[in-house]
Each structure stands twice: as C-alpha cells, then as structure tokens.
Amino acid sequence: MINPDLILPFYVSPNGDYGDATGLVVIDVQDFDDHFFGYLDECSDWLRPSYAEWFEDNPHDLETSIEDGCDVCKDWIDWAKA
C-alpha cells in the first residue's frame, strides 16, 4: 500500500490501477503502427516511457514492419542502452 504521506504524482486509471505516476508517459497512439508496439515490447521496462515519448516526438517510416527493422528506432534503443 502506498503511504499517503508521500508527496508524489499519483495516477488512478479507469481499469483500477493506481500508483506512483513519477515518470508516467501518456501518448496518443492513434496513428502508430505495429512497429511502435513491437519495439516497445523489446524495450526494457525502465526504457519504455522514454521510448514512447521519444517515438511520439520523432518522425518514423510507419510502413516499416518490425521484421524489416526501423533504423530510427534501432539507433535510439542502442543509444539508450549504452
């Protein structure tokens, strides 16, 4: 249980989840394709918020499948892991 005396951003979602919202990223995925979700799955948990935020802010070839690979995403993930 979260200590209510802590001062931190807090989220509550309609599915009942709640918790510490520090570092939480909310993005619009309406125009995203499978390549976003594929790379999101490949990312470590701790990298996913920054990947999602970065993806939204940078142009990608949305015709690229994850099997074909996206050089933009690969370069970012390699950079982020370093």
Alpha helices in 1-82 (DSSP H): 34-42, 48-57, 71-81
* Cβ nearer to Zn ion, comparing 10 with 42: 42
**Which residue, 48 or 60, has its beta carbon nearer to Zn ion?**
60
Region of 6-14, 20-28, 40-48, 57-65 interacting with Zn ion (CB under 5 A)? 57-65
**Which tokens is 4 given?**
């209510």
Tokens representing 19 are 């918790």
Q: Binding of Zn ion at residue 80 (CB under 5 A)?
A: no
Distance from C-alpha of 25 to C-alpha of 49, rounded to nearest angstrom: 6
Residues that bind Zn ion (CB under 5 A): 60, 70, 72-73
